[in-house]
Chains A and B, each alone.
Chain A
């Protein structure tokens, strides 16, 4: 009998210790792979992290699948891009998650855009006649590594708040990430320095922060207005402008159809460059720093090859 009780207690202790152990790791869900990569870099083995949108998927149009409800149900921390990028799919997921920890306004809800440098903030009145404009500024802000640092900092502070015992661990991981990012920035800026001021056309308005940081000039878009598919009239105007200005490069996100960009390229002699705006967009962009390594080397070599100015 005593043996039985002892065994029972031992089992209970084991179960409890496992439960405590699984409690110890902060379960993080990020809406995109970019945020997940940064959170992983800061959280290390003290957190588990999962992303909702894949890097090769248009983050504006994610389906609010019930499998994501399960993901959110168990989360301790939800990191979102914000600026209405996820407005079309995240709110019902959060409501249905039945998880008080990650409701907006709770401790476990982190809007990564709050400390970032946001561009394209509307200065005048806006209407939907301008297309699917983001009234709170361009949500593709993670494409400036300086904003990656801001995001990392915000994540570090949030993780330290949620798991105070690991605060110094997160601080140290942040320092390490910061160092790797600084090294990267030196590398990327050096690679892009000879091409400063290069004029390009992009499909969607995803590259504003990227262009700003690396000295590119975005002079036109394949979309006539944000979120509005290309029209023949706009394509004609774009071709004329590109010919007149000698634009050699069209940047396209991997989730857009290449038909119009290819047609424009054929008429203008420009090169279509498919560049992932997110971690996981291509195999090589396996984390936040690799994303820039891949994009910068691709871009710099294409600019050199096409002689774009």
Chain B
């Protein structure tokens, strides 16, 4: 729109200034020289006057048409071009094209205040804060949560770094302090169909391990995550990740390889060479336009905290079935998921082999309402004879896309013999611009 208006403005100028001012006087002068002796100067003057009048008439006509056009454009409500056209170019800034796809602005934006210093605001990352407020009632003698707790405020900063990379930071502020929950650089444009990440991030072990608290469909995490994948934080470490699509005519297949420092709830390095590693293979297929199946297997290996040369090997399987009818996508969806984890942890005397799983279902039954259930069963990584198990039911209400209110009844029988009956509550709320999550 803007370029259109500018073009229409420069066209008449070219039309008039070009041929009439520059070209027209030239032949007139030539003519004047050739006939200087034979024709009276008066004739030439008349000719010049006529040309000048013609030129002025054309100029006025174009000027009037241009003014009419501008008035018409300006009268269109909200027409950006119309509003911006008469403004001096200094009052606009073109947003870098990269910003749009990252959820940032696109096109021209007003620059408030004008000075060159304010221009940098456009390059500020998308900033969001997500609050996670928890409450609990009932009885739990093994691991009691407080009655009320502002469990976490997650601050996110996301932006494109340069034409080659984007960066995502998730800083978690909790009663224990501040930590980098994740902070990584992604290279989406590598040759060979590779996608690489460098930084600190949640390891690609199964599904739930990669989720932030606000992405979980429950108030708590599945017990298997606590028992076998390193507690509340899960597998989360500094390292590098490279993944590749394995193209084939049948399914979406993605292979991921990751190397880590060895400093998470499960893995602990004693020297620099004690890096832990992870491999994952994920297959996905649309069964129909509204249903799909997502299967994955993961393996992770590294030294554990029992001592140097003592290692833990984790193997996982995950399966997710989704149903979401496209025509009613905002009202109905079903997600059924299970994850199984086998852990083999070497200790001074013997190795402990443990197993754990959860199975869950979540169903959206109205635009703002979700109901779900989960069953947990998990041995503990250090003592496979202790089994924690029990069911949960969950009800979630979404006032809007930006807040959720959730209640969960959980009955958990701990390996020691205690049974906890609890009602957990959660308020999740987000302000600012939070980027979309990976499917």
Interface residues of A (CB under 8 A from B): 54, 56-58, 61-67, 69-70, 73, 80, 82-84, 87-92, 94-100, 103-106, 109, 111, 113-121, 128, 131-132, 135-137, 212, 227-229, 254-257
Contacts and interface: CB of A to CB of B under 8 A. Distances in A.
Contacts of A56: 326-327
Interface in B420-437: 431, 435-437
A291 to B, nearest CB: 17
B103 A69 contact: no
B286 A67 contact: yes
A67 B252 contact: yes
Contacts of A117: 1, 76, 79-81
Given A91-B436, A114-B106, A257-B331, A132 B400 contact: yes
Contacts, number: 162
A99 B330 CA distance: 30
24 contacts: A56-B326, A58-B329, A66-B284, A66-B439, A67-B285, A92-B438, A94-B101, A95-B188, A98-B244, A103-B101, A104-B101, A109-B101, A111-B97, A115-B3, A117-B80, A118-B78, A118-B79, A119-B79, A120-B78, A121-B78, A136-B105, A229-B367, A255-B327, A257-B328
B77 interface: yes
B193 interface: yes
A56 to B, nearest CB: 5
Contacts of B367: 229, 257
A88 B436 contact: yes
A103 B245 CA distance: 17
B292 interface: yes
Contacts of A67: 252, 284-286, 292
A64 B436 CA distance: 9
Given A61-B330, A109-B97, 14 more contacts: A57-B326, A57-B327, A64-B438, A69-B252, A90-B101, A100-B188, A103-B98, A104-B99, A104-B160, A106-B163, A111-B97, A117-B1, A117-B80, A227-B401
Contact of B245 (A69, A109, A137, A255): A69
Given A70-B252, A73-B245, A254-B327, A105 B163 contact: yes
Contacts of B190: 98, 100
Given A94-B188, A254-B327, A82 B245 contact: no
A294 B252 CA distance: 37
Nearest to B289: A54
Nearest to A101: B189
Contacts of A135: 105
Contacts of A257: 328, 331, 367
Interface string B243-269: 011010000101000000000000000
Interface string B89-121: 000000011111111011100000000000000
A297 B163 CA distance: 47
A64 B195 CA distance: 17
B113 to A, nearest CB: 15
B186 A95 contact: yes
B436 A87 contact: yes
Contacts of B431: 128
B402 interface: yes
Contacts of A84: 103
A303 to B, nearest CB: 23
B106 A65 contact: no
B97 A96 contact: no
Contact of B437 (A87, A92, A118): A92
Majority secondary structure of chain A interface residues (helix, strand, loop or mixed): loop
A78 B178 CA distance: 40
A121 B81 CA distance: 12
Interface string B186-203: 101111011100000000
Contacts of A115: 1, 3-4
A257 B437 CA distance: 26
Interface centre among B163, B322, B327 (most CB of A within 10 A): B327
A58 B327 CA distance: 8
Contacts of A229: 367-368
B194 A98 contact: yes
Given A58-B329, A66-B439, A70-B252, A98 B106 contact: no
Contacts of B344: none
Nearest to B73: A117
Interface centre among B76, B97, B166, B322 (most CB of A within 10 A): B97
A105 B104 CA distance: 12
Ranked nearest first, the 7 interchain pairs of A and B with the lowest CB-CB distance are A104-B101, A100-B189, A105-B98, A105-B97, A66-B252, A66-B284, A57-B326
B324 interface: yes
A82 to B, nearest CB: 6
B245 A119 contact: no
A254 B294 CA distance: 29
Nearest to B193: A98
B385 to A, nearest CB: 40
A95 B431 CA distance: 24
Interface centre among A57, A94, A120 (most CB of B within 10 A): A57
B189 A70 contact: no
Interface in B175-219: 186, 188-191, 193-195
Contact of B402 (A54, A69, A128): A128
A82 B401 CA distance: 20
Contacts of A128: 400, 402, 431
A65 B292 contact: yes
Interface centre among B96, B252, B326 (most CB of A within 10 A): B326
B107 A119 contact: no
Given A54-B289, A119-B78, A255-B329, A89 B436 contact: yes
Interface centre among B97, B401, B439 (most CB of A within 10 A): B439
Contact of A92 (B105, B322, B439): B439
Contacts of A116: 1
A128 B292 CA distance: 33
B330 A255 contact: yes
Given A56-B326, A91-B103, A136-B106, A98 B195 contact: yes
